[in-house]
Amino acid sequence: MTRLTVEAADALLGREYRVLDKGFVRLVDYLGGDARIVQSARVSYQDGTKTVREDAALIDYLVRHKHTSPLEQVVLTFHLKMPIFVARQWLRHRTARLNEISGRYSVMRDEFFLPEAHEVRRQSVLNKQGRSDEEVPAALQRRTLELLQAGQIDAYTGYQELLDEDVARELARVNLPLSLYTEMYWQIDLHNLFHFLRLRLDAHAQTEIRVYAEVMAELARAVAPLAYEAFEEHILHAKTFSRAELELLLSALDREGLERALKASAMRKTRQRELLDKLPPAPDKTLV
């Protein structure tokens, strides 16, 4: 049996996508695509078992109903370069395999992240872990960048001096700041990549990791376009409600208007039934 390939993904292999001031994303390799998801779901090893339309419907069903194991059959490997503070957020996603450059074995390059001036903002009052949308004076933007860069220069000068004195690399590196760039190979299956993207494409995610997620989303779309479309439909742009929230929505719902809207919509009949099945029966007003 020959290896499944995706022409659109093959065209992107090894291409370097620049991110931030010195970072990048590269798709190194991939295993499988939409066809692999379909094969796994049908436990079939024959190519083209169904039409593209039927394959799309099956993948949509799998994602919609959270049948995730067929998506785990698709694997993507990335080569990534990012500031260490971004990498530390990244490593919270523990469902991947990775190998990062080691400052114990390698001399770290003199490459540090500096934000764009317009990204310098004050601390958000509402979001304790993020910046506000309020612009700061240009003088404060310049001073912030000056201080960041001065600290980076001082730290790397000390690092280089210790290396020149043949101090062990594992000790010389300890004062290097989080803005230093690191690199890693990161391999993850499609299901867990979708989880990563759901979190890191969110508007509340830190800008410096979200820009990486935006590039990786396009690479995932190239590898498995049908699965990515289902991900956008049922995960990325979907919302969930708590029990209390749902009760409030149901209390204000015009059920007859909903049924009219469904009949007039292009939504498939099976999806219409699933939507109505999510709603508990309307209260029997004759008992009131």
Do 127 and 27 sit in the same domain of this protein? no
CATH number at residue 103: 3.30.1360.170
- Separation CA 85–CA 103 (nearest Å): 15
pLDDT tens column, 262-272:
889 988 888 88
Q: Are residues 203 and 64 in the same domain?
A: yes
Structural domain boundaries enclosing 118: 114-178
Per-residue model confidence (pLDDT) at position 2? 74
Per-residue confidence (pLDDT) for residue 86, from 0 to 100: 98
Q: What is the DSSP string of 85-151?
A: HHHHHHTT--SSEEEE--TTTSPPPS-B----GGG-EEEPSS-TTSEEEEE--HHHHHHHHHHHHHH
Residues in the chain predicted with pLDDT less than 70, given as ranges, are: 1, 44-50, 282-288
Residue the block writes with tokens 């109505």: 276
- 250 CA to centre of own chain: 32
pLDDT of residue 45: 47
Active site residue 268: no
pLDDT of 68 reads 94
What is the reported pLDDT for 38? 95
Residue 204 is encoded by which pair of tokens? 């509340």
Alpha carbon separation from 222 to 29, 37, 94, 226, 244 (Å, rounded): 12, 15, 24, 9, 39
Residue 82: closest CA among 189, 195, 211, 193: 211
| Catalytic residue (choose from 200, 210, 255, 273) | 200
Domain termination site, one of 154, 178, 202: 178
| Count of domains forming the chain | 3
Q: Measuring CA to CA, which residue among 153, 146, 147, 141 is closest to residue 116?
A: 141
**In this predicted structure, what is the pLDDT of residue 114?**
97
pLDDT reported for residue 8 = 97
pLDDT given at position 44: 54
Q: What is the pLDDT of residue 144?
A: 96
